[in-house]
C-alpha cells in the first residue's frame, strides 16, 4: 500500500537482573521501528535516578555507541518510537515524556490519540496548567499527575485518570518504583506482556519486540486493564471505568503490525493470509499467477493463491538498499527511475494473466505505476485485489489518514480501477475484514471502512490548528 | 585562565521589516557563542504562529541550511546559547523554553541563576504544577504564567513575578505580540538594547551581538527594569519590586564578556587593560618583557606593559585549528602534546625576565605547564601576575564555580606560586578589581573574591541533587 | 546463505541526449549495489574533460546532493561498485580507475579477478612501471595502455591486451570519444548491453541496472567480445584471442546476481526456482510446509514447494531497518538478539514438519541459529535443503571464498547436518546445478563445487601477500 | 591579508621507540594545518608493511578515532597536509603518494611546485609511463623510481632525480628501511630536522611541528641537501646537482609560516616584527595608536609601534567560533554580517588617528570593509601600512597567486588607497623585505614583488589546462 503512518510504539521493562537494560530497550525499539520512524527515546530508571535520551530520527540515528553510553545501568526503562507530522519536526515532542511533580518523577510513553485531548488541555490550562508540547501524552501525564495529588498510589491515579481520558491510548508509565501498563477500555491499540529469562517483566506494543529481546510472551493487556510491575511481581487492575465494547483497530492486522506479531490472540501473518483467502472466495478471477506487492501484500497473496489454487509467484524484486537518502536529481530521471525501488521479475508475469494483491489502498497513487510495470513486463491481464475494504473515513484514534486523501471517499471502485489501469479491481468486503481475525478476543474498530466510530470525537482534536494554534494572549 | 562556564547568552529581536529574522538571530548567537557552548536554540514568531528549533551543540552544529530552513519568516524571534553540565546532557533543557497556557503561548530565554529556584519549584509542585526540566527558566516561566492568570498583560505578569524571583536572571520573553526584556534588580548579568537599521528593536546579553548584526547600541537595560517592544515602540517599566543595591558580576569584565562588548557603560577591553595597569601599580616587577596568556590575558598584558614601561611581547602562538575533536590516542603522546594548542615564541622570551599575565586563576591547573613552556623556551625568570583577585568563593548567580575546585580557597598565594613554578606570583587586589570599571553605572558583585553575597541563597539550589533528585513517589 | 562477497559491478553509458548522465549512473549503481558494498565511484566525460568522484561506502554514503553536484553534465560516464577486503579499506582502490598516458586519458572499471595478475604486474614493474594500487584493474589498464603505444585505436589496444590477460574480467573502458565493453573469453562474469530511450547505449553487469534507469535490454556481451559505442553507434569485435570454452560462473544464478536480472539468456529468478524444483526431485521429504531463508532462499523454496506439492509458507520476518550500524553493546544481549534481524512466524511452522530452503552453505555458521529459531517456534521436524551443491573449493575468478572457510571442505554432509541441528540435510547435485539454467547460451564454471578450474591460476594471485607485500627495496 | 594558499606541509618520522607513531604524525599535522587545509594523509611503515589513510578535509575531519585505528603501530611514517584548487576536489590527489615498483614500495610527500613538471610528465608518458593524478609529486615519484632501476640505493636515485627536477620541491620519502628528506637546490620551501626524546628523527616543513610533538630542533635541511635517516642514524648528501643561488621564499616570513616557527635561522615572529620596524622607519606617520589586522598583522603592528613610539593597541576581536560552516542565508544579512568575524574594539580607536598594519595585500578586497569598520567605530584617520611590498607577479614555486588577481599589478598605490578608503597607504620596500630576516642563512626569492624569478618556468606548468587537459586519444 502507499505509506500510512501510525503514531507510535511503546516498550517498558522491569528487570532487576538485566545488566544492560538500555540495550534491551534499544533492541526492542528496532523491532518496533515500523510503528514510528520519526523519533525515538529511552528513559532509564536507576534506583530512582532517571536519565533519558530522545531525538528525531530512526532508532539507529538517535542511538549510537555514544548516546547509549550516556544511559546508566538500571532496573527499569521505557522506550518509544514515534511518527510525527512535518509541522512538528523541530519540536520537542519525542517520547518518553518526563515530568516532575510534587510526589516525584514520572516517565510516560503512549500510542494512540485521545478524542477529548483538546478539551482536557483547555480545561487544565484554565486551571493554570502549563503545557510544553502539543501531544496527547502530555495531556495524559497531566491528568494522571493531577489525580496523583489525592490518590494513594500512582496506579490509583491512573485508574482515576482513565475515567477522564477518551479515545485511544496505550501507556507505559514509569514511576520511581513501578512500571505500569494501561490500555484504553476499547483496546484500540495492541499491548502485550512478556517475561524475560531473568524473571523480569516487559510491556510492548507488539509481541515481535518480545521476540527480539528473547523474552517470552505471557498475555495481552486487556482493554481497560492496568497492569503494575513492581517488587511484588505483576498485578492487574480491571475494576475501574466501566465496561466498553472493545474495538481493536482492524488495520493493525491489515497493515500496521508486523506479520510475525501475535495481536490479541491472532497472528498478524495468519490474519493477512486469511484475508487473502476470503478475498479469493469473494472475488475470484481466472488467472495464471498470484503475486503480492512487497512487502505488505505478500501474506495475502499467498492466502489468495492457496485458496484459489492458482500458483503463487514472486512478481517483484524490492531493492533493499534504497533508504531515505536516495537523491533524485532531475524530474526526467525520477520518472525513469520508478524501477529503482521495485522491479518486476518478467519471467513470473510474461504472457500471463496476473492477480496483483495489495493489503489496502489509501491515496491510490501507487497502483498505476506498479500495474504499468507488470504490463511492460508482458502481463496480458492484471487483476487487482485488495485484502481490505475501501478506506472511506479518516481515523481519529491514531492513524494518520486525512479525509481529503482517501481516494475511495471520492471515487467509485470502477473509477479507481480505471485510474490504476487494472483490468478488474475488487476489495475485501467489510464482513470479510471482520472475519480475518476470528479468534481475536476483542471486537474491532472498522471505522475507516464504515464510518462507525466507536468513540465520538471533537473536530478540534483532529485539525492542525492544535499544532499551529495562534497566540491568543493579546495583552 | 582555565575554562570557566557561564550559563547563557540571550537575544531577542522585534522587527517587522526584517525579511529573514532567523538568520539575524543565528548571526547574533555566533557572537554570543562564548557565553554558552553546549546548546543553542531559536524561536520565531510569525504573526502569532510560533516555530522553534533547539539542540545540543555549538551554534553551527545546531543550525545548518536544513534546520534554518524549518524556521519561518517572522516579525519577532528569541535565541539562546547555553552551557549545561555533563549530567544534563541528554536532557531537553535547551532554551528558549516554549510554554502553552490558557492565554496563549510564550517563549522565554534566561541568563542567570535563581537563589530561590528550588523553593519556588517545590511550592508550585505542591499546588499541582508539573515540571519537565530542572532549569530555572522553567520556574521563571511558570511564575510568570501563574501571575498571567490574573494580570492584565504579560508585562504586568512579569512585574508581579519579579517580586517572587530572587537571585540572578536576565530574560527575553516573547508573547504573541510583544518582545519583553527584564533584568533582575541587582543587575547581575548584562543586557542591552539595540536598534536595527530598519527600525526594529533588539535585546542582547552583550553589545557585540548588536555589532554582529549591524544594529546600533541604544542603552543598557537597567537593573530591575522591564522593557517592552511592541507595535507602539519601546516602553520601560521601573516602578516595581523596590530598590536594590545593584551588583553587576565583575567577572563579566574579568573574563566572561567579549572584549569588544560594552557592558553598563564600560568597554570590557578597556576594563581588562585597566586591570593590567592597576596590577602593574600594585605589583611591579623588574622584567624585560610582558606577555599575556592568549586570548583572555592579552588585554591586561598590554595594560601592564604600558603602565610599567616594560615592552609588550607576543609570547605564544595559539593553534586556531584545535577544536573539540582533537584526539589524543595515548597518554604518552598527550603529555608531549601540550604545545599543540599553545606554543611559545622562543625569541620573545629567550634570555629574558618575563612577566606572564592571565585574567584569573580558578582551578590553577593550567599555570604550571604554561610556565614550564616559557622556561623551556629560555625565559630566565617568570613572574606571574593575575588581573583579578584570588577566587575563593563559589558563584551562586550563574557561573559554574564549585567551592572544591578553587585552588585559592585551600592554598596560599605562596603555595600556588610554588605549584605553578613561577618565580613570583601576585594577584590584583579586591580594591583593584572594583576600580577596573569605574565608569560603570552599577555596583559590583565581588562575591567570588570576597564572599560578600548580595543575595542570600539556599544550598539546595546549588547542589546536584536538584538535577538528580531521587524519585520520591513511593506509592 | 552466510554472506559472500563478489568483487564488483560495472556500468557505462554513452548518450549524447541524456541531460543528467551522472544521475543515471547513480541510479544504476543503486541497482548493482548488491555486487559491491564497500566503495562506489563515477567518472563523467564531458566532451573530453573528465571528472570523477569515488569513495569508500555504499552508493548513498558516497554520493549525495553535494558530491553529485561536483560531477558535470556529459555524454559518457562509467560507474562502479566494489567489494574490498578489510586490509584494503584505507587504500585508494575505489574504481573507476583513471589513468593519464601519452595518448590521453582513460577511465576503466572491472569485475573479475585475473589469474595472471601478479605475474603481469611483476613483469611490468621490471620494465619500469609504477603501480599505485594492488588491484587487477590497474594491471589491466597498464596492459591496455602499453599496447596503445603501438595500436591504432583504443579498441585495438584492448584486443591486443586480451591476449595477455588471463582469468576473469569484465570491463567498461572510457576513452576520450568511445565507451568500450569487454568480457573475458570464458565469460566468467555477466555483462549486457542496453539502449536508452534517447538512443544511447549502456553496458552493465546485470540487466536489473538497465531496468532501473528505464533502458531496454539489447543483448549480452559475448564471452571474448569487445563492443565499442561511439559516434557511429555500436560495433562488435570478436576476431581476437581465439576460441575458449565458455564458463559463466554458475554462482551468479545461485546467489550473486539479483533475481530480477536475466543473465546470458536465463532469468536468475527462474534459475533459482528451477534449482528448487530439481532439489525437490533429487531430495524429497515428507513435510507440511516449505519455507525459504529470506531473501536468497525464497525463489528456490517456491520451486521446491511447487515441485513437491507441499504448501509454500512464509516462515520468517526479516527486519528491514537493521543496517550496518546496529550496535550490540553486550555479549549477553547479542546472544539474545538473534531474532532482531530474523524472526520466525510461529503460526507458519508450529506443529509442522518444515523444509527449510537456502541457496547455499559456505561457512555454515548461520544454519544452526536459524534452525533453532524454528524449533523454538514449534516446528516438529526441520529438513534443510540447499539449492546448490556443497562448496568445496575457493574461487579464483572474483568471489571472495577462502578454502579455510568452507565447511563442506572439511566436514561430511552428516557432520554439517549434526552441527546445524537439522533432522536431515541434502544439497542439490552438481548435475542439478548445471541444469538450473539450461537455456543459458554459455557453459558454466562449477569450480567451487567440483574443483574443475577452467583457467589455471597462480597461488601468488590468491593470497594476501599481494596486498601486504613487504617492501623489498633494501638499499 | 586576504587568503593565500600555499600548497603543502610535509612531515616524516623515523623512530623505533615510539609506540604510537600515527598519533605523533596526527599531532604534527595539526601544527602544520595552516600550510594546507584541503586534504590530509598519513602513511605508516610497520617493518616493511605499509598502511595509509588520506582524504579530503581538515586534519580532524580526515582523522578520527576510527580512521586512526586503521593505522598500525610502526617505526616510520610520513604525513602531509595539502591545499588543492576547486577543480581538483574530487580527485585522488591527497598525499602522501604511495607507489609500487620493481624494487618495492615508496611513500612520498612534497611541498612546492616544479617548473618543468609538465615537460617531465610529457616525456615520461611518451616512454609509456601512466599517471593517475595531475600532481607534481607523482612526476617526482616517477622520476625517482626510474632512476631507482639503475641506482644502488633509494638515496642515490633521489640524487640522480634531482638533476632533472627543476623549481621548488621539499620531499619526505619513505622507502622500506629509510626515511629521506630532500630540499631543492634553491631552497624555496623550508624543511627542518628534529630529534625525538626517544632518539628518533623527524623531518618537518616548519619547526612548530617539532614543538607540537615535543621534539628538539636539530638544524634545517640545506638547499640541495638530501638527508637519510636509517638504522645507522642520520646521513647527509650534498655533493650532487651543483651549486645554486639559494632563494628561500620570503613570503614564508611575511605570511605563510607560523610565527612560532624558526625558518633557516630566523624566527618568523621576529622577522614580521622587524618588517614592522622597517616599515615604521620607511613610512612614518603621525598617529595615536597602532593596530594590526588579526592574526597575520599583529607581529608587524607590534614592531611598528615599538619603532615609532606610538602605542600598540588591540583593535579587533576575531570570533574564534566562525568556521567553514557559517551559513549566510541572505545577501542582505551577509552585508550586515561583516562584523560577525571581525569586530572593532571601539574604545581603542574612537577619536584617534589609527595606523592599521597588515602583512600584505594580494587581491585587495578585504581592506575597504575593515577600514570602514574603524571609521564607523570613530577613528578620525586610518593610515594603512603593509609589512611587505606590493605583490605584482604570480608565484611559480608553490603559492597560489594568479596574475589576474593581483590588485597591485593593475593599480597604483594611490588607486589602492582610494579603493580601500585609507587616508594614506604605504608598503614596505623591496629592500625592506630583504632585510626582515637578515640572519637567514639563504638568499631570498622575491619574485612576487619584483618579477625576478630565480628559475625559469614553462607557462604550461602554470595554467589549469594541465588539470583539465582534454582527452587527446582520437582513436
For every residue of chain B, which 3-state class applies, written as one string? CCCCCECEEEEEEECCCCCCHHHHHHHHHHHCHHHCCCEEEEEEEECCEEEEEEEECCHHHHCCHHHHHCCCCCCEEEEEEECCCHHHCCCCCCCCEEEEECCEEEEEEECCCECCHHHHHHHHHHCCCCECCCCHHHHHHHHHHHHHCCCCCHHHHHHHHHCCCCECCEEEEECCCCEEEEECCCCCCCCEEEECCCCCEEEECCHHHHHHCCCEEEEECCCCCEEEEECCEEEEECCCCCCCCCCEECHHHHHHCCCCCEECCEEHHHHHHHHHHHHHHHCCCCCCEEEECCCCCHHHHHHHHHHHCCCECCCEEECCCCCCCCCCCCHHHHHHHHHHCEEECHHHHCCCEEEEEECCCCCCCCHHHHHHHHHHCCCCEEEEEECCCCCCCCCCCCECCCHHHCHHHHCCHHHHHHHHCCCEEEECCHHHHHHCCCCCCCCEECHHHHCCCCCCCCHHHHCHHHCCCCCCCCC
Count Cβ–Cβ pairs < 8 Å, chain C vs chain D.
145
Percent of chain A scoring above 70 in pLDDT: 89
The distance of D203 to chain B (nearest Cα, Å) reads: 17
What mean pLDDT do residues B7-23 have? 94
The distance of B161 to chain D (nearest Cα, Å) reads: 36
What's the pLDDT at B55?
86
Q: A309: nearest CA in chain C?
A: C311
Total structural domains within chain C: 2
Same domain assignment for residues C275 and C226: no
The pTM for the full model equals 0.90
Ordered per-residue pLDDT tens for chain C, 475 residues = 565 555 799 999 999 999 999 999 999 999 999 999 888 999 999 998 889 998 888 898 899 888 888 899 999 999 999 876 443 444 467 899 999 998 889 999 999 999 999 999 999 999 899 999 888 999 999 999 999 989 999 999 999 999 999 999 999 999 999 999 999 999 999 999 999 999 999 999 999 999 999 999 999 999 999 999 999 999 999 988 766 789 999 999 999 999 999 999 999 999 999 999 999 999 999 999 999 999 999 999 999 999 999 999 999 999 988 765 556 555 555 556 668 889 999 999 999 999 999 999 998 888 999 999 999 999 999 999 999 999 999 999 988 878 888 999 999 999 999 999 999 999 999 999 999 998 898 999 999 999 999 998 866 554 433 333 444 565 5
Q: Which residues of D are catalytic?
A: 8
Same domain assignment for residues B224 and B308: no
The answer to the question of residue C468 being in a domain is no
Is a pLDDT exceeding 90 seen at residue D418? yes
The grid coordinates of residue C247 equal: 564458463
The answer to the question of residue A59 being in a domain is yes
Higher pLDDT, B426 or B322: B426
Nearest to C102 among D45, D125, D132 (CB): D125
Nearest to C329 among A20, A314, A347 (CB): A20
Q: B41: nearest CA in chain A?
A: A90
Q: Which chain B residues have a beta carbon less than 8 Å from that of D265?
A: none
Q: Which chain B residues have a beta carbon less than 8 Å from that of A49?
A: 468, 470-471
Q: Are A23 and C330 inside 8 Å of each other by CB?
A: yes
- Any contact of A with D, at least 3 CB pairs below 8 A? no
The distance of D397 to chain C (nearest Cα, Å) reads: 24
Higher pLDDT, D343 or C457: D343
Catalytic residue (choose from B8, B113, B192, B395): B8
Same domain assignment for residues C65 and C191: yes
* Neighboring chains of B (3 or more beta-carbon pairs < 8 A): A, D
Q: What is d(CA C93, CA C116) in angstroms, rounded to the nearest whole number?
A: 19
What mean pLDDT do residues B32-53 have? 92
The answer to the question of residue B213 being in a domain is yes
pLDDT band at residue D467 using 50, 70 and 90 as cut-offs: very low
The answer to the question of residue A440 being in a domain is yes
Q: Are B313 and D302 inside 8 Å of each other by CB?
A: yes
The answer to the question of residue A312 being in a domain is yes
The distance of C378 to chain A (nearest Cα, Å) reads: 14
How confident is the model over D244-284, as pLDDT tens digits?
789 999 999 999 999 999 999 999 999 999 999 999 999 99
The grid coordinates of residue A124 equal: 487544565
Q: What is d(CA A297, CA A357) in angstroms, rounded to the nearest whole number?
A: 6
The answer to the question of residue C379 being in a domain is yes
Count Cβ–Cβ pairs < 8 Å, chain A vs chain B.
145
What's the pLDDT at B298?
97
Same domain assignment for residues B386 and B421: yes
Nearest to A317 among C63, C213, C258 (CB): C258
Nearest to D99 among C91, C130, C142 (CB): C130
Q: Which of B247, B278, B306 is the last residue of a domain?
A: B247
Same domain assignment for residues B242 and B278: no
- Any contact of D with B, at least 3 CB pairs below 8 A? yes
Alpha-carbon distances, residue A365 vs A421, A426, D169 (angstroms): 12, 17, 63
Percent of chain B scoring above 70 in pLDDT: 89
- Domain CATH for C95: 3.60.20.10
Same domain assignment for residues A233 and A291: no
For all residues of chain D together, what is the average pLDDT? 90
Residues 185-244 of C with CB under 8 A from A: 197, 208, 211-214
Q: What is d(CA D61, CA B321) in angstroms, rounded to the nearest whole number?
A: 11
Phi first, then psi: give them for residue C120, nearest 5 degrees.
-65, -45
Nearby residues of C222 by Cβ (< 8 Å), 6 or more positions away: C183, C187, C238
What's the pLDDT at D86?
40
Residue C384: other Cβ atoms inside 10 A: 26
Residues in chain A, how many? 475
Same domain assignment for residues C300 and C190: no
The answer to the question of residue A467 being in a domain is no
Q: What is d(CA C386, CA B102) in angstroms, rounded to the nearest whole number?
A: 68
Is a pLDDT exceeding 80 seen at residue A36? yes
The answer to the question of residue C84 being in a domain is yes
Q: Are A347 and C214 inside 8 Å of each other by CB?
A: no
A76 at interface of B, judged by CB pairs closer than 8 A: no
Same domain assignment for residues C166 and C269: no
Q: C58: nearest CA in chain A?
A: A321
Which has the closest alpha carbon to B182: B78, B26, B266?
B78
Omega of the bond prior to C295 within 30 degrees of 0, cis?
A: yes
- Any contact of C with D, at least 3 CB pairs below 8 A? yes
What's the pLDDT at C468?
38
- Domain CATH for B392: 3.40.50.2020
Q: C196: nearest CA in chain A?
A: A336
Mutate to test the interface with C, among A347, A351, A372 (most CBs of C within 10 A): A347
Q: Are D30 and B321 inside 8 Å of each other by CB?
A: yes
Q: Which of A218, A247, A276 is the last residue of a domain?
A: A247
How confident is the model over D142-184, as pLDDT tens digits?
999 999 989 999 999 999 999 999 999 999 999 999 999 999 9
Nearest to D336 among B208, B214, B314 (CB): B214
Q: What is d(CA D342, CA D294) in angstroms, rounded to the nearest whole number?
A: 8
* Neighboring chains of D (3 or more beta-carbon pairs < 8 A): B, C
Residue ranges making up the domain that contains C353: 262-319+338-450
D154 at interface of C, judged by CB pairs closer than 8 A: yes
Q: Which chain A residues have a beta carbon less than 8 Å from that of B43?
A: none
What mean pLDDT do residues D279-294 have? 97
Same domain assignment for residues B104 and B241: yes
What's the pLDDT at A183?
97
Q: Are B473 and A103 inside 8 Å of each other by CB?
A: yes
Mutate to test the interface with A, among B130, B232, B235 (most CBs of A within 10 A): B130
Nearby residues of D173 by Cβ (< 8 Å), 6 or more positions away: D78, D106, D107, D108, D144, D154, D158, D179, D180, D181, D182
Same domain assignment for residues B170 and B41: yes
Residues 378-417 of C with CB under 8 A from A: none
Same domain assignment for residues A152 and A277: no
What's the pLDDT at B465?
38
The grid coordinates of residue D32 equal: 602544520
Same domain assignment for residues B107 and B70: yes
A125 at interface of B, judged by CB pairs closer than 8 A: yes
Amino acid at each position: 500500500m502507499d505509506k500510512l503512518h501510525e503514531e507510535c510504539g511503546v516498550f517498558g521493562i522491569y528487570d532487576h537482573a538485566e545488566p544492560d537494560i538500555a540495550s534491551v530497550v534499544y533492541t526492542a525499539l528496532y523491532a518496533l521501528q515500523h510503528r514510528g520512524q520519526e523519533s525515538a527515546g529511552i528513559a532509564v530508571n536507576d534506583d530512582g535516578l532517571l536519565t533519558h535520551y530522545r531525538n528525531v530520527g530512526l532508532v539507529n540515528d538517535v542511538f549510537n555507541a555514544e548516546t547509549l553510553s550516556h544511559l546508566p545501568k538500571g532496573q527499569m526503562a521505557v522506550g518509544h518510537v514515534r511518527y510525527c507530522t512535518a509541522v512538528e519536526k523541530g519540536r520537542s515532542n519525542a517520547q518518553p515524556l518526563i515530568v516532575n511533580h510534587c510526589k516525584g518523577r514520572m516517565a510516560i510513553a503512549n500510542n494512540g490519540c485521545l478524542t477529548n485531548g483538546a478539551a482536557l488541555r483547555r480545561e487544565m490550562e484554565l486551571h493554570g496548567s502549563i503545557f510544553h508540547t502539543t501531544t496527547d501524552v502530555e495531556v495524559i501525564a497531566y491528568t494522571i499527575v493531577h489525580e496523583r495529588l489525592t490518590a494513594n498510589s500512582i496506579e490509583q491515579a491512573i485508574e482515576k485518570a482513565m475515567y477522564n481520558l477518551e479515545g485511544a491510548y496505550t501507556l507505559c508509565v514509569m514511576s520511581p518504583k513501578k512500571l505500569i501498563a494501561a490500555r484504553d477500555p476499547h483496546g484500540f491499540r495492541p499491548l502485550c506482556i512478556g517475561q524475560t529469562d531473568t524473571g523480569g517483566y516487559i510491556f510492548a506494543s507488539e509481541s515481535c519486540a518480545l521476540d527480539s529481546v528473547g523474552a517470552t510472551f505471557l498475555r495481552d493487556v486487556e482493554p481497560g486493564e492496568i497492569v503494575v510491575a513492581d517488587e511484588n511481581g505483576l498485578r492487574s487492575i480491571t475494576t475501574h471505568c466501566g465496561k466498553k465494547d472493545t474495538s481493536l483497530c482492524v488495520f493493525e492486522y491489515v497493515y500496521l503490525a508486523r506479520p510475525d506479531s501475535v495481536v490479541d490472540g491472532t497472528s498478524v501473518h495468519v490474519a493477512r493470509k486469511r484475508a487473502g483467502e476470503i478475498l479469493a472466495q469473494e472475488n475470484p478471477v481466472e488467472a495464471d499467477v498470484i503475486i503480492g506487492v512487497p512487502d505488505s501484500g505478500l501474506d495475502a497473496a499467498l492466502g489468495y493463491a492457496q485458496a484459489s489454487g492458482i500458483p503463487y509467484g514472486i512478481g517483484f524484486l524490492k531493492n533493499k538498499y534504497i533508504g531515505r537518502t536516495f537523491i533524485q536529481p532531475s524530474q526526467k530521471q525520477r520518472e525513469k527511475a520508478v524501477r529503482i525501488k521495485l522491479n518486476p521479475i518478467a519471467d513470473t508475469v510474461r504472457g500471463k494473466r496476473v492477480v496483483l494483491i495489495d493489503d489496502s489502498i489509501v491515496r491510490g497513487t501507487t497502483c498505476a505505476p506498479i500495474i504499468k510495470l507488470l504490463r511492460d513486463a508482458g502481463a496480458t491481464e492484471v487483476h487487482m485485489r485488495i485484502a481490505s475494504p475501501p478506506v472511506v473515513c479518516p481515523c481519529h484514534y491514531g492513524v494518520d489518514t486525512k479525509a481529503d486523501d482517501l481516494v475511495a471517499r471520492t471515487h467509485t471502485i470502477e473509477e479507481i480501477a480505471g485510474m490504476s489501469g487494472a483490468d478488474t479491481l475488487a476489495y475485501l468486503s467489510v464482513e470479510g475484514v471482520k472475519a480475518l481475525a476470528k479468534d481475536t478476543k476483542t471486537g474491532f474498530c472498522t471505522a475507516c471502512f464504515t464510518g462507525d466510530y466507536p468513540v465520538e470525537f471533537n473536530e478540534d482534536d483532529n485539525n492542525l490548528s492544535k499544532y499551529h494554534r495562534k497566540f491568543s494572549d493579546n495583552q
